[in-house]
Amino acid sequence: MGYYNSSESKKKRTGYFASSFSGLIAGALLVGVVVPQFTDVDAAAENQPRTVETASGIQNVSDIVTTDVTEIVDATSAAVVGVTNLKTAQQNPFMPAAGAEAQEAGTGSGVIYKKDGGSAYIVTNNHVVEGAERVKVTLADETELDAEVLGTDVWTDLAVLKVDSSSISTIAEFGDSSVLKAGEPVIAIGNPLGLQFSGSVTTGVVSGTERLVPIDVNGDGTEDWQAEVLQTDAAINPGNSGGALINSQGQVIGINSMKIAQDAVEGIGLAIPINSAIPIIQDLEAKGEVERPSIGVSIMDLSSVPQQYRNSQLGLPEDVTEGVVVSEVAPGSGAEKAGIQPYDVIVELDGKAVNSVLELRQHLYTEAEVGDTLNVKVYRGGKLVDAKIELTESL
């Protein structure tokens, strides 16, 4: 979590009232022309001030302000919920475990995207509910519901929950993230820092699309995946994870996932594009998992193998410096049937060079399907060998 402080030097200015007043008028005109984003041009007609005279004779002027932002928030915020991860606290070994209650282990946000019969469905982040013994959902009106985790996916950081729908009336509408442009205004709704700040709203713009961010999925210090994300400058903090990134039409175009908070970095929030999330959501809802293809091997980057072993055990030519080393082959897998052996070095898939485990995984998970046959080139004992591997479902 990052806290950001900003300060501006203040200087006294005297004797320039006329010029300052003129500057304020000019500045106000410029703001009205240049920054139309989420403003309502009919606000002046609709938002008439009300004058109330108090007992002391002092007049209060009350303005009811309605803008595009407030209208969108009014229409969509009830579809954004709090998600609480509950786990049983580690017990004192000398105390009886009976009666121990699950306690809050983390909080995040979620988006209600579907209501079907007696159930409602919520998308959130995998890391929000990971390892939970129970999951609790808190609606905008503070109603608490027990949630069932239908499925999670560590690679896309998505999860789907199911709750009773009797208390739910607002459902989010998914938009089209493929048509987003840099500079387009967006709204982030979620629960930063937990339910204490539930339903918080921040605004900004789309800072970039199709950003690739390296992810260490298993926490071993090695990048396992590259997530494609939307970049926004709308403030996204811990607890916003799983919340909604909404466009100017009130449609969800991203699921907020993470925030870069470093000393030299500010205003970089990231969200999973909704077009990428929808097929994952559908799989998790229907099957509880995402079906992905597998070659059937355990692998490691060639770059992690010391040079002497590349020559002595792998028998590689000196000009081969990148690829993926096969360490084990699963019995009955497509790789075994294709004749792949331990110490083979995969360098090409379907005519594309493969330089790392990350690139191999990206190819399998984004460009191939279960049942496809891959054309593979491997180095075996210093010779380049062709193989055809039929992909099976990941175990």
CA 94 to chain centroid: 42
* 141 noted as active-site residue: no
Report the sign of the C-alpha dihedral through residues 34, 28, 39, 69, in that order.
positive
241 in active site: yes
Distance in angstroms (rounded) separating the CA atoms of residues 101 and 88: 6
Q: Which of these is catalytic: 68, 77, 109, 127? A: 127
Query: Which residue in 107, 46, 112, 43 sits closest to 76, CA to CA?
Result: 112
Backbone angles phi, psi at 283, to 5 degrees: -65, -45
- The contacts of residue 112 (CB under 8 Å, 6+ apart) are 79, 80, 81, 120, 121, 122, 168, 170, 171, 172
For the question of residue 146 being annotated catalytic, the response is no
Q: Tell me which of 109, 165, 177, 241 is the catalytic residue.
A: 241
> Of these residues, 68, 153, 157, 344, which one is catalytic?
157
Contact 355, 322 (CB under 8 A): yes
**What is the per-residue DSSP string for 303-369?**
GGS-HHHHHHTS---TT----EEEEEE-TTSHHHHTT--TT-EEEEETTEE--SHHHHHHHHHHH--
Q: Which residues are marked as active site?
A: 127, 157, 241
